[in-house]
Amino acid sequence: MIQTIDLTKEFEVKRKKIKALDNVNISIEKGQLGALVGHNGAGKTTLLKILSTLVIPTYGDAIVNGYSVLKDEKKVRENIGLVTVSERAFYYRLTAMDNLIFFSSLQGLSLSDAKRRAKELLEFVGLQDWANIPYMKFSTGMQKRLALARALITDPPVILMDEPTLGLDLLSAREFRRVIKSLKDKTILMSSHYLREVEELANEIFLIKRGKIVEKGTLEELKEKVGNILEVEVNYLTDDLKKYLIEVHDDYYILRIPEKEIEKLRYYKEIEKTSPNLDDIYVYFIGEERETPGKGKVRPWRVRE
């Protein structure tokens, strides 16, 4: 399992202390997948770096499969596989097979075991036909799948993934999610900007804003906390309603607003009542990045297939 206890990380920037994480408490049970969702700079990557022992927390602790990141760093590293967005994680001129054999050898496997494990992993992530192709010729999607294969070399019980499908096309992202779903009995924590992906994969969702977990729960639990959503037409827009804006027209606006917030509107025309999706949950608890809406549709960054 993964657990954080009052986890705090401060950085000093121009003599000012900035809290990248502020008393973060999360827990993911064995075999479950947790997803970190929030704006850029919210603290997602910092949290993953602490869990992988790449960054030391200022206060608090984190437990990974029973081991403290402060007291048992070596044991933590033995129990995790890390998938990052870095393209520099592999040797460009080596083939996929040779890359995995090399990294397997670094993990202590004999040459014969390294070859066997590399073959198994390439088949698992669907790259067996590309085993002898240099990494430099791999597409972004193939690079991500190879990164996952490398993270699985020692069959670790915990997998940490930082925006694993960032930059992938629709089909590549779907294939990557298929592979993730086939990881049985693994405890996984991932960060993602793709809410469709989070809805499909996550058992537990952690909404993070400015280093704080502002809400957490299963998708159904979060839906219950938000309640029904009303899609309405209004002819005015106040600052506290901007985050609910989905369309801008010449003389009116379209909002998706929780029913519990409807009292903020004096006049409106109801279009539709629906249950909330993760977009609505995100907007309610975290809010939008974009503060000045232009004409047309808004909420541009959250990708939904």
Domains of the chain as residue ranges with CATH = 2-222 (3.40.50.300), 227-297 (no CATH)
pLDDT of residue 296: 52
pLDDT value for 225: 96
Can you give the pLDDT at residue 303? 39
Backbone angles phi, psi at 13, to 5 degrees: -125, 115
Q: In this predicted structure, what is the pLDDT of residue 300?
A: 44
In sequence order, the 6+-apart residues with CB closer than 8 A to the CB of 296 are: 247, 248
pLDDT value, residue 289: 58
Tens digit of pLDDT at every position of the chain (305 positions): 999 999 999 998 888 889 999 999 999 999 999 999 999 889 999 999 999 999 999 999 999 999 999 999 999 999 999 998 666 789 999 999 999 999 999 989 999 999 999 999 999 999 999 999 999 999 988 998 999 999 999 999 999 999 988 888 888 888 889 999 999 889 999 999 889 899 999 999 999 999 999 999 999 999 999 999 999 999 988 888 899 999 999 889 999 999 999 988 888 888 899 999 999 999 999 986 554 445 555 554 443 33
Q: What are phi and psi of 62, to 5 degrees?
A: -140, 140
Residue-level pLDDT at 83: 92
Q: Supply the pTM of this predicted model.
A: 0.88
Task: Read off the amino acid at residue 209.
Answer: K
Q: In terms of Cα–Cα distance, which of 144, 33, 150 is closest to 82?
A: 150
pLDDT on residue 15:
83
Predicted pLDDT at 288: 66
